[in-house]
Amino acid sequence: MPIPAPTETDLTRFPDWVPSAARTYVEHAFDGRPLRHVAAERGCSASTILRHVRRIERLRDDPLVDEAIERLAAARLMPKRTEEDPAMSALPAKAALIDDATLAREGRRVLRRLCEADAFLAVGQGMPQAAVLRGSGDTPTRTATLPRDVAQAMVLKDWLSCFKAGRVTRYRITDAGRAALKRMLGDSLQHKVAARGMAEAPSPFLTQHMQLSERVIEVPGHGDTSLRVNLAESPLGALARKRDKDGKPFLPMPLVVAGERLREDFERAQMGPRVGQNWDRFLAAGDRGSMGPSDPIGGSDAARQRVSQALRALGPGLGDVVLRVCCFLEGLEAAEKRMGWSARSGKIVLRIALQRLAQHYDGNR
């Protein structure tokens, strides 16, 4: 039996924000197309389409998801029905879908509020709008409102998840929602950078994995300057967020600062590009002392001297792990394998090395 060709009301009419699983569900459940026909058209197996359909079917217990699916189905059938019965004036309003620009604009505004502590989205039955509330008491503070169809789209895209159902259903932001917010903020940054004719901004999908913050550094001859840094770039950031059995940070802030100070000197000395091609030379204990003003590597002589002094103070082993993790941003597991250490021992050695590095910097003030 030949596969029916897509009609004029094909799902490509939907905005880009509509998830693929929701498109597939509407095509199968409301258009009556067999799963194998949909799978052949999508270029995947019928079992994949079946998983999409079952997932959306389970999510329809959520009132906003159910309303969103009904709206998608109405939008898909709208052209055909309006031709048969032009008097159906209520259908276009029911089937109207928000566009991608509206969802991105509302997403940047609302998801920011939902990232705040004790923030949640509340939607009442039959209410045309949803509200973002903050607080756990009897009278939470309202921080934002949004149309109900925007809330439907956010829940359908898994940006929000229900944690309390009832006459007033409550939602919290998900990890997917936080990642989407970072992508939208990164995309907005790209447009601003392009409008100003500046250098290229990070990709939105790269930005979602970043933890951006402002950091003040001292530039010789120019005083203090503020830079935007990615806290998730260095392995020290992940270790600093870990807690020991007593609930204290695994890496106290002075140790993180010491590691970042070594990395700052390392980058200011411009050691990375050439040293990375010959690690054996740089990691060998006898070669560390050869770095000085006469070294052919470019960069600041003073910064190279500070890095050399710090590594000599740590000695073999401790200096190697600090160099790999702090300067070359190598993961602890990779560093353990390269150095022949047992699993999960690298973080203990790294903490000891950072403690000695912090003492070295304190003694040179």
Domain count, the chain: 3
Residues 6+ apart with CB under 8 A from 306: 265
Verify that 240 and 304 share a domain, yes or no. yes
**Considering the domain boundaries, does residue 6 fall inside one?**
no
Distance CA 280, CA 277 (A): 9
Verify that 264 and 242 share a domain, yes or no. yes
**Considering the domain boundaries, does residue 310 fall inside one?**
yes
pTM: 0.53
Verify that 69 and 110 share a domain, yes or no. no
Verify that 124 and 239 share a domain, yes or no. no
Verify that 26 and 113 share a domain, yes or no. no
**Considering the domain boundaries, does residue 104 fall inside one?**
yes
Structural domain boundaries enclosing 46: 11-95
**Considering the domain boundaries, does residue 260 fall inside one?**
yes
10 Å CB burial of residue 80 (0-12, 13-18, 19+) is exposed
**Considering the domain boundaries, does residue 320 fall inside one?**
yes
10 Å CB burial of residue 151 (0-12, 13-18, 19+) is buried
Instruction: Look up the CATH number of the domain holding residue 136.
Output: 1.10.10
Q: Which of 95, 128, 160 is the last residue of a domain?
A: 95
Verify that 249 and 285 share a domain, yes or no. yes
**Considering the domain boundaries, does residue 294 fall inside one?**
yes
Q: Which of 95, 119, 142 is the last residue of a domain?
A: 95
Q: Which of 163, 178, 193 is the last residue of a domain?
A: 178
**Considering the domain boundaries, does residue 64 fall inside one?**
yes
Verify that 124 and 140 share a domain, yes or no. yes
Verify that 55 and 165 share a domain, yes or no. no
Write out the chain's pLDDT in tens, 365 residues: 444 444 444 444 678 899 989 989 998 888 888 989 988 988 889 899 999 999 999 999 999 999 999 998 888 765 544 444 444 444 444 457 888 889 999 999 999 999 988 899 999 988 999 999 998 777 889 999 999 999 999 999 999 999 999 899 999 999 899 888 888 877 655 555 455 554 445 555 555 555 555 555 555 555 665 555 555 567 777 777 777 777 788 888 888 888 888 888 888 876 654 444 454 555 554 444 444 444 444 457 888 889 999 999 998 888 888 888 888 888 888 888 888 888 888 888 999 999 999 999 888 76
Which residues face 227 on adjacent strands? 215
Verify that 39 and 83 share a domain, yes or no. yes
Contact 172, 163 (CB under 8 A): yes
What pLDDT, on a 0 to 100 scale, did the predictor assign at position 210?
Answer: 55
Contact 355, 347 (CB under 8 A): no
Verify that 290 and 316 share a domain, yes or no. yes
Verify that 264 and 353 share a domain, yes or no. yes
**Considering the domain boundaries, does residue 63 fall inside one?**
yes
Verify that 266 and 356 share a domain, yes or no. yes
